[in-house]
Structure 1
Amino acid sequence: MELPQDKHAVLRIMARPSDVNIAGDIFGGWLMSQCDIAGGIYAHRIAGGRVVTVAVNNFQFIAPVLVADIVSIYADTMRIGTSSITVKVTVLIERRDGKKETTMKVAEADIVYVHIDENRQPAAITQE
């Protein structure tokens, strides 16, 4: 597997030793947080303003993330409602083991965001 050539990652970050769980793998909560950040950046662009997370559906951990893996998070629009946007987040990692580099999918999720106004109330998403 290779990184998509026709897309740009919304977020890229290196997994660090401070992000591990007791087993030495990257803590799932850390990865979920990074996905929410990336999905929020993407949803903000689509909605044209502030968004809040209202649901995380179908979060699937496919393979562990290890320290020093380069984590790339991609986002795509699944559905746009009146004030909500559902974003498909896909997480790929690049892992270097000596001279060998491997790229693999490690997680994916569907995250729902709601566009809000200055009073923190749902606001319509206008598509141009």
Structure 2
Amino acid sequence: MSDTPAYPPETQPVGRIVAMPADTNPEGDIFGGWLLAQMDLAGATPAFELARGRCATVALDGMVFHQPVSVGDEVSIYAEVIHAGRTSIRVSVEAWKRARGQPQVASVRVTQGVFTYVAIDENRKPRALPGKE
């Protein structure tokens, strides 16, 4: 894709994981649902930090799969808060792959999406973010 950046973000990834054979779909590629789950977990990290507590995923906007992930690929996931409302937090999440043993410059963006999380209280009800009470 022409709009795919040549290099991963300069920030540290929120998570890294190696794609394993148990994570494949019937065609032998890594199952999109597995990748989506990894991205949701990674995106929750900055949301939880900003909310200073529990959050729930409420939406996923614009998920785009650019490239397949293969068994053995190292997947690095980057997440950045792009908006914070009164109770909700939108996080841009990107997943990049590289064959193990290859330099970081050999990474390729495989998918991206925007996740929305809502801060919740002990009763699982929306609560205001710190400083937005």
Q: TM-score, with normalisation over the residues of structure 2? A: 0.87
Matched, 1:23 2:27: yes
- Which residues of structure 1 form unaligned runs of 5+? none
**Alpha-carbon distance, 1:2 to partner:** 3.9
**Alpha-carbon distance, 1:100 to partner:** 5.5
CA displacement, residues 75-119 of structure 1 (integer Å, 9 cap, x when unaligned): 0111100000000001111114xx765210000000000001111
Deviates more, 1:33-42 or 1:82-91: 33-42
- Which residues of structure 2 form unaligned runs of 5+? 1-5
Matching residue's letter, 1:11: G
**Alpha-carbon distance, 1:52 to partner:** 0.2
CA distance, structure 2, for counterparts of residue 110 and residue 28 of structure 1: 16
1:1-128, aligned counterparts within 5 Å?
1-4=6-9, 6-96=10-100, 101=103, 102-127=106-131
CA distance, structure 1, for counterparts of residue 90 and residue 42 of structure 2: 13
- What is the percentage of aligned positions where both structures have the same residue? 42
| 3-state SS in 1 of match to 2:13 | coil
Q: TM-score, with normalisation over the residues of structure 1? A: 0.90
**Alpha-carbon distance, 1:3 to partner:** 4.0
CA distance, structure 2, for counterparts of residue 100 and residue 38 of structure 1: 23
**Alpha-carbon distance, 1:126 to partner:** 1.8
CA distance, structure 1, for counterparts of residue 126 and residue 58 of structure 2: 11
CA distance, structure 1, for counterparts of residue 120 and residue 85 of structure 2: 13
Distance 1:48 1:66, change over 3 A: same
| 3-state SS in 2 of match to 1:82 | coil
**Alpha-carbon distance, 1:8 to partner:** 1.2
| 3-state SS in 1 of match to 2:107 | strand
| 3-state SS in 2 of match to 1:72 | strand
CA distance, structure 2, for counterparts of residue 54 and residue 28 of structure 1: 19
Taking only aligned residues, the RMSD between alpha carbons, in angstroms, comes to 1.7
**Alpha-carbon distance, 1:46 to partner:** 1.3
**Alpha-carbon distance, 1:19 to partner:** 0.4
